[in-house]
Amino acid sequence: MADIGGWRGATAGVAASLLVTWLLSQPHQAAADQLAAHYLLPYLSDSPPSSQVTVEFCNLFRIVEKPYYVIFASCWVCALMQQLIDTSRYYEERYEELSKTQKCYVGIQLLTLVMETLAIVGKIDWLAGESLWHMYNLYVYVFVHSSVFVRSIMMSMIIWDWLLARLLGRPVFGAEYDGQGWRDWHRAVLLIIIMQFGSSVFVMMVVTLTHAIPALILYYPVFLLAAAFIIKFRSWLELLGLNPDGRAGRGLVMASNSFVAVVSIQTMIASIIRVYFGDAWKQGYLTPLKDDVASRSSKTFYECHLRAGMGALIDGERRYTKQIHTQTWHTHVM
């Protein structure tokens, strides 16, 4: 019995040694688990933006700043999908109202965006000891570069397309909800509120007050250029001989206006965040706008979404990056 007990003890000791050896051979995973959102705060004051911190954004949130051509392609895909789904009205014989397929599409989009919003909120370590205002700014920065923000803007453009195509003249939610006394533009406003604000669990309403409105005031040239494009684009298509109310014209208007709206609002909000962190006061009015352009790296986007965010970063690089982030944060903010 003593021999058996000794054999079991030796076996347990060997197993424990193997377990410790395996754990020590996995430094990357241990370091990755320690990465927290508040380590990325210095990025909001970096000028020009650090590509290394952008990689960390990807590793933690699976989100990086999208290059312009990626946003443009996303808008075109969304516009094409919407035009394909729009044909369901003819199969359902609903020529002057939304089809059930279109309503289901909006519902699925809304549910998906809400879930993605909650996932982003959960990755922010709000109680890490940093200023709540700084953590909120970090959340806003991640949010405006997420698919939640991009697709909510696109959905708002789709609703505008429905309004111009006169598809909101009949109840969308049912006669007992938006029937008698409701006009088509009332339903359009309701749908935009649901898709633009409800998709972010109404966090976007707070972001509008704290970031969007100040950004519109400070960087109004960006807003004016975007608004002029959106207002004039339909007339430009007419000058080219294209019908903006036809199938192709509606797709062109939706894709182009979505792209301009997404890029302009993203740029203004990201710039006002950098202004809050002192970027503009240190290096000039245009610096936040230039930094926003510089942050949209094609290489980083490729690494994040097609190569798992450069997941092979070694433990030493992780520790060095965190040390630099912490020192920079205490130097520039505290």
- Is the four-CA dihedral 305, 157, 73, 94 of positive or negative sign? positive
Residue matched to tokens 């049912």: 174
Q: What is the pLDDT of residue 324?
A: 40
pLDDT digits (tens, 9 = 90+) for 178-228: 888 898 999 999 998 888 888 888 888 899 999 999 999 999 999 999 999
**In whole angstroms, what is the distance from residue 324 CA to residue 44 CA?**
14
The most confident of 151-160, 204-213, 306-315, 317-326, by mean pLDDT: 204-213
**In whole angstroms, what is the distance from residue 270 CA to residue 215 CA?**
9
Residue by residue, what is the 3-state secondary structure of 27-51? HHHHHHHHCCHHHHHHHHHCCCCCH
CA distance between the termini of the chain: 65
Mean pLDDT for the stretch of residues 163-167: 88
Residues in the chain: 334
pTM more than 0.75: yes
- Lowest-pLDDT range, 249-263, 290-304, 305-319? 305-319
Task: Single out the residue of 43, 72, 47, 68 nearest to residue 55, CA to CA.
Answer: 43
**In whole angstroms, what is the distance from residue 96 CA to residue 4 CA?**
83
**In whole angstroms, what is the distance from residue 43 CA to residue 52 CA?**
10
Q: What is the pLDDT of residue 50?
A: 73
Mean pLDDT (the chain) is 79
Spacing of C-alpha 179 from chain mean position: 34
**In whole angstroms, what is the distance from residue 11 CA to residue 227 CA?**
73
**In whole angstroms, what is the distance from residue 32 CA to residue 295 CA?**
23
**In whole angstroms, what is the distance from residue 98 CA to residue 85 CA?**
10
Cis peptide before 48 (omega within 30 of 0): yes
Return the SS3 of 245: coil
What lies within 8 Å, CB to CB, of 184 at 6+ separation is: 163, 166, 168, 169
pLDDT digits (tens, 9 = 90+) for 93-137: 888 888 888 888 888 888 988 898 888 888 888 887 788 899 999
Q: What is the pLDDT of residue 133?
A: 92
